[in-house]
Chains A and B, each alone.
Chain A
């Protein structure tokens, strides 16, 4: 197999993310229960034995540095699984994803926090877990606080934050740290209009700086606004990938056809 890094000619941007035959299989249902245990022990386990679901069924994809890649597809098409593998929270069950540089993921708004830690401590924890150097973290703290509009709340445990405050802190963390690949999973749905516009502007800033962005959304206008490339996933496979206008048009067409039926 040809090494992906050798694909880069002198006129090409370097590879940021390369997926080859990427697969992810999940077991369905409760993992363990007394019923299953007894079933297994008494060998009457035919009914409960591992049903599984292939969230990704062989995805090939190259993302170049400086791309803003949108991923579209219906529920269960494998979008989130792609991002989880990219973020490193889980591993594929087949194939390979090669990731160059530091990934800053925002997989879910207001959840990747610890409630007992203050806003500031959560920021430090997040940064430390991405191995962002401590000086870089402290250097960005003020800008981050200002972006989240939490100047008076950074030393309050985040269990006392409102959901809006948590969302703003999530976005601030996900966009203000120095990274190479910024990952957003269906996250703009939860914030209100004004802040949503600021987040979109911020994501466009990352893109214009030449950083790589991977963006999942059900809102096609957002994808069109942010992304230059789009990947359309269907049942864990690549249906189409290419310039955003082409793919989004095809995807919108199919959705419209689907509604007509």
Chain B
């Protein structure tokens, strides 16, 4: 294309344009992906506003407010005590059952909250997606950050319970790595489900049901040793299984994890993080047109 094809459009004779506020040049052109990994930290200010919002909204116009953070894992723990301990009489090896279950619940509470908010994150921000250039990546990331308080309450309870019963292992200093692991795993999955939801709302209907099934296909409330071999094979494939095993090994002094699911989980986490990024960044360019 040559200059001659451009319509007659003379330059303005108005000198004295102010200096640019932002010296960036943007090229809008057909590309499959425009996201960069560096956008993850460039978008931190947006994520901060969105995450604070996500968290506040959850407990706005509610009587118990943030007390739900404490109540929810407690209720689950009570349910576990009745179902697994009272009825099925599971044995949590050498660790008291409450301590054992709380570690699993900590990971689970983060996973569940993130998946629920994160999957809907694009759709619940539909106006911002359609009419503003608000970075799309910030929505699912904010959902993960907003789920941290739910996790913090449960993991704190797990620490206290492990400490009081003298089961706390010095390996607990490794837990930040466990958290990064959980974060990557969840982010990968949310990246996929949130992108999917832009085109197909089916995920919104499926997610509560999938999460319910997932809770019983992960050793949150029972030890792996209680499973038969076929059930064990299935549960081992759940990426949360190995993660929860590793977390229990980090936190509990006398816990012997099985290493197979840990390996499976690490591999799946890496794969899901990469696939989640690729899927999300691919869909991201057309979200405003398709949502």
Contact = CB atoms under 8 A, between A and B. Distances in A.
B49 A91 contact: no
A111 B127 contact: yes
Interface stretch (B21-29, B222-230, B232-240): B21-29
A13 B20 CA distance: 13
Contacts of A2: 2-3
B131 A107 contact: yes
Nearest to A136: B21
Contacts of A242: 7-10
A117 B53 contact: yes
Given A20-B1, A92-B30, A114-B125, A101 B12 contact: no
Nearest to B285: A91
A64 interface: yes
A238 B56 CA distance: 48
A31 B28 contact: no
Contacts of B165: none
The B interface, classified by DSSP as helix, strand, loop or mixed, is loop
A50 interface: no
B130 interface: yes
B12 A13 contact: yes
B15 A13 contact: yes
Interface range on chain A: under 10, 10 to 19, 20 to 34, or 35 or more?
35 or more
A162 B59 CA distance: 24
Interface in A119-133: 121, 124-126, 128-131
B20 A116 contact: no
B18 A210 contact: yes
A97 B27 contact: yes
Contacts of B134: 112, 125-126, 129
B286 interface: yes
Interface string B124-167: 01011111111100100000000000000000000000000000
A113 interface: yes
A61 B26 contact: no
A163 B239 CA distance: 47
B9 A241 contact: yes
B131 A111 contact: yes
B111 to A, nearest CB: 24
Contact of A121 (B21, B49, B129, B286): B49
A98 B49 contact: no
Contacts of A21: 1
Interface stretch (A41-49, A81-89, A145-153, A196-204): A81-89
B133 A87 contact: yes
A89 B50 CA distance: 18
Interface in B46-63: 46, 48-50, 52-53, 56-57, 60
Interface of A: 1-2, 7-8, 11-14, 20-21, 26, 31-32, 60-62, 64-67, 84-103, 105, 107-108, 111-114, 116-117, 121, 124-126, 128-131, 134, 178-180, 209-211, 228-229, 238, 240-242
